[in-house]
Structure formats: structure tokens, C-alpha cells
Amino acid sequence: MNHMTEDSKKELGQLVRQIMEESSARGIALGVTDPEGNILYEEYFGWRDAENKLPINRDTIFGMASVTKSFTALSIMQMQRDGRLSVYDKVKDYIPEFTNKNQEEAVRIWHLMCHSGGYFPLPRIVVDKTAEEMGIEDSLDNELVYREDFADEGIRRVAGRLDAQTRFTGRPGQRLSYCNDGFGLLSDIVRRHSDCGSFAEYLNAHILKPLGMERSNIGFLRNSLDENAAVLYSQEPDGSWRCDRDYENDAFVLHGGGAMKSTLGDMLKYAAMYLNEGQGANGQRIIDRYSIQEMCKPRQFMKPGVYYGYGLETKQMGDMTVVEHGGSLPGVSSNFSFCPQAGLGVAVLCNTMDVPVYAIGDAALRAFCGLPLMEERPAHAPYQWAEEELQALAGSYVSGEGDRFILKAEADGTLSMTLNGTSADLTPVYPWQGMVRKKYTDVYLTAVRDENGKVFAAHYGSRIFPKEMEE
């Protein structure tokens, strides 16, 4: 399907440049493919290195951040196909360091694949700090991603921290709360129970090489030294900009949640594989159709119209289904998506943090489908929270990842919201649910209540924030 016109192409370019200006984005690669691997559109905006005015091309390496989760889930589905595991198995049967000791019900592999293990957001355990504390460093001769001692220490720390939790979002499988730790456990299952010695080796042997993704890898130092790797731009708390090729910056110690590096050309090959339900455009089948369909099934509610499957999100674009995943890290904003009905796959890669590249991906899909670039937002009937809701929701909510929001009941029957010290315009839309309308997306806030109806947390965005206990 290609209904893009010269006018819509021009409009798409204007939108990209507008978003770049608003977000101080330095460089963006945007491409669209069909199932046969034909690149229908590719455009490069800005620079891979803005200071030296070095251009982006199809082989420029970018960080993928959480787009990695789809690769991890795909690996698990391959292992299930091969009879090495079942997604319904207990996690503790595969990772002895994880005992599941404080939860009444067992956490199973599929729970982790859709962020429903029951865990609140936790501080990130990072690569560089862990390596420093172990007294080791990354080198091309002995890369961290292949070191067994580093992997063993990582799983010990992550599993031990999960076992130490005593407060949970609910029962395993009950609710979604985005959890990098869970995907870290999944990648360690791949490491320990596949035919490869590391997660990086598994991906290379079973996904990347078969699909011809020659410029993609799980790694840090090798990408930092690659001449055609993007410089990473991230804003520091004091407002200054950090620019370097430090691909270890804030990287999670276990690699299944966000360590993939790739290029526009490779990610379009990856999208084409999903359009063909497991077969690459080069004719190589890496997974059965059933497994791809299972990955794409809506399993956990994220926000109205958006659900999470196994390492992938699903949403509607009119009467068509769009499957996608995005990623964000210092110096990284990424998004890949595919629409089976339209036969289109899209990749958007950026070397700057906190850029709404998902809006660019959606606009590209919509342009090719002959739709207006920007989707009309849903309108909500006026609603006012009851006094019970106001008082129950009021309080402070703190994420282990460092974010905090405060809800305060006002005399006019509204809730004021302060997010990380900045006022947010929270609009009541339904009982126990409000919405913050941002320029390119709507973020919903929903009360999470226990069996007695008491609010103990709030779902905001993709995370569940625990409510601070009253003294």
C-alpha cells in the first residue's frame, strides 16, 4: 500500500523538522519497507555527528534501547518452538538465583514477557558501575557482553533485588508495569538454556545473521569505536548537553531490556520479517507463524486502545492494527512498527534523548495509507471526580526509577498534579482515571486499588507508581 503523495511527503518532512526543533534532536533516520524488503521511503535529517557535520546513512549505528525487548521475546519464542521451555513455566525453574520467595503465586515466563510479574519500577543496575565494582573493564578482546562472570554477577544482583521486594503491583499476570528487570531475567534464561554461551551470541546466531542484519549487535565498546556510529546527545539535569559515544551510559547490566544497536537498513529487514510472520525478506524463516501471532496478541492493558503482548505493543489505526515498540536511553530515541493490513514496516532512529519519534513513525504509516498525518484525539465528556475519589487519590507517588508525582485535592473539586516538580494539567475523564494531554500523545493516570478499594498505587504512562505510605 502506497498512497503517499508529493504533498504528504513534504508534510511529513515538515513534521520531522518541527519535532527536531522542539526536541533539539540532532539526527533522525526514517524508513518504510514492504514485506519483500523493498525500501519504499528513506530520509535522513540532521547529522550523526552535529559538531563535525557528519551525515547519516543506511548503515549508521544507533542505540535501540527498549526495542531490544522484541528481540528478547522473539528469542524466548524460538526456544519454546525448539522444545527448550514453555512460556508457562516458572521463572525460578530456570534461574536458581530467583526464588520468588515473597509472592504467593509463581512468576512465569510469560508474565515477564508482558511486564506483569508484579514489580514496581526499580532503580537501574547499570553496566559501568557493576563492572567497576567487579574490577573489570570492557575490551575488544574480552567484551562484557560475552563474559560469564559479568553475566553471573548481573543475574545475582537483579534476581536478588526482585526477591527482596515485599510490595507488589498485584498478583503475577494481573497488571502491567514496565519492568526492565523482567526482560533481564528473560535474556539470562536465553543465555543459560540455549545452545549459545551468551545472549549476544544467541541473537547473532538465531536472529541477526539469518536475517542479514550485519550491522546489528548487542555490545558497547565496539559501537563506541565504530566510525559510522551516531554521537549520543542527552540533556543533563543542569540543562547542559552531553555528547559522546558512550554506549554504556545508563545501560542495564542484563542485556535483554535495551542493549541492541542497529541501523535503519537492518531494522527495516527486521520489520519485514514480522510482516512475513517469521520469514525474512531474504527467504530465511527464523520462527513459525504461530509464535509471531502469539507475540502480537494483546495481553495487558496499557492505555485506551493500546495493549502489550510479548515484547510488542498493539494499537489501532482506524480499522488497521499497528504493532510496535519504542525505546529511550541517554542519546537514544527509537521506534519500529509494522501494519500487517497495509503491508508496511517503519523504523525511526534518533541519536537524541526524549524525542517523540513514535509520532514520526505513525505519521509515516498514515501518509502511506492515505490518511491525515496526525490522528484526531479522542474527546471526553465532562467529568468531575467525587469527593471520595479526590481524597483517595491525593498523595505522593514515587517510582524507584526516580520519577515522582504529587496529587493534591483542590477546593474546586479538581486534582492538581506536579510531575518531577513541574505542574501537569490533569483532566478527569472517567471514575478513578484522569488524562494529561501532551502535544503528540495522551498519558492516562489510573488509580490502582486493593481488594478493599483502597488506592495503593497509580498507573501513569507505562509504570505503576506506589503511593507513599502514610505515617
Total domain count, the chain: 2
Q: Do residues 338 and 316 lie in contact, with contact meaning Cβ atoms separated by under 8 Å?
A: no
Say if residue 251 is in the same domain as residue 133.
Answer: yes
Mean pLDDT of the chain: 96
Whether residues 363 and 400 share a domain: the answer is no
pLDDT given at position 412: 87
pLDDT at 423 over 60: yes
Same structural domain, 365 and 392: no
Q: Are residues 357 and 447 in the same domain?
A: no
Task: Return the closest-CA partner of residue 159 out of 168, 151, 167, 170.
Answer: 151
432: domain CATH number?
A: 2.40.128.50
Pair (239, 260) in one structural domain: yes
Q: What is the largest CA-CA distance in the chain?
A: 65
| Nearest residue to 107 (alpha-carbon basis) of 162, 150, 62, 147 | 162
Residue 382 located in a structural domain: no
Mean pLDDT of 372-385: 91
Residues 394 and 308 in one domain: no
Q: How confident is the model at residue 406 (pLDDT cuts 50, 70, 90)?
A: very high
Are 100 and 91 in contact by the 8 Å Cβ rule? The answer is yes
- Identify the pLDDT of residue 299: 97
| Whether the predicted pLDDT of 327 surpasses 90 | yes
**What whole-number distance in Å separates Cα of residue 436 and Cα of residue 443?**
5
In the block, residue with C-alpha cell 545452545: 195
Residues 164, 39 share a domain: yes
- The verdict on 185 and 148 lying in the same domain is yes
In the prediction, which pLDDT does 470 show? 66
Instruction: Give the tens place of pLDDT for each residue, 365-376.
Output: 999 999 999 988
pLDDT at 2: 87
Q: Does residue 418 share a domain with residue 372? A: no
Which CATH number do you get for residue 255? 3.40.710.10
- pTM tops 0.95: yes
Residue that terminates a domain, selected from 323, 354, 376: 376
CA atoms of 418 and 201, how far apart (whole Å): 44
% residues pLDDT > 90 (the chain): 96
The string of pLDDT tens digits covering residues 59-81 is 999 999 999 999 999 999 999 99
The pLDDT > 70 percentage for the chain reads 100
CA distance 26 to 33: 24
Instruction: List the beta bridge partners of residue 42.
Output: 31
- My answer on whether 30 and 106 are in the same domain is yes
Domain end (from 337, 357, 376): 376
Pair (368, 393) in one structural domain:
no
pLDDT at 1 (0 to 100): 73
Domain with 142, as residue range(s), is 1-376
Domain final residue, candidates 350, 376, 402:
376
d(CA 199, CA 216): 14
Q: Is residue 414 part of a domain?
A: yes
Please report whether residue 108 resides in a domain: yes
Q: Are residues 428 and 339 in the same domain?
A: no
Q: Is residue 244 part of a domain?
A: yes
Q: Is 471 inside any structural domain?
A: no
The 3-class SS string of the chain reads CCCCCHHHHHHHHHHHHHHHHHHCCCEEEEEEECCCCCEEEEEEEECCECCCCECCCCCCEEECHHHHHHHHHHHHHHHHHCCCCCCCCEHHHCCCCCCCCCCCCCCEHHHHHCCCCCCCCCCCCEHHHHHHHHCCCCCCCCCHHHCHHHHHHHHHHHHHHHHCCCCCCCCCCCCCCCCHHHHHHHHHHHHHHCCCCCHHHHHHHHHHHHHCCCCCEECCHHHHCCCCECCEEEECCCCCEEEECCCCCCCECCHHHCCEEECHHHHHHHHHHHHCCCECCCCCECCCHHHHHHHHCCCEEEECCEEECCCCEEEEECCEEEEEEEEEECCEEEEEEEECCCCEEEEEEECECCCCHHHHHHHHHHHHCCCCCCCCCCCCCCCCCCHHHHHHHCEEEECCCCCEEEEEECCCCCEEEEECCEEECEEEEECCEEEEECCCCEEEEEEEECCCCCEEEEEECCEEEEECCCC
In a domain, residue 21? The reply is: yes
Considering the domain boundaries, does residue 76 fall inside one?
yes
Whether residue 16 is contained in a domain is answered as yes
The pair phi, psi for residue 377, each rounded to 5°, is -75, 150
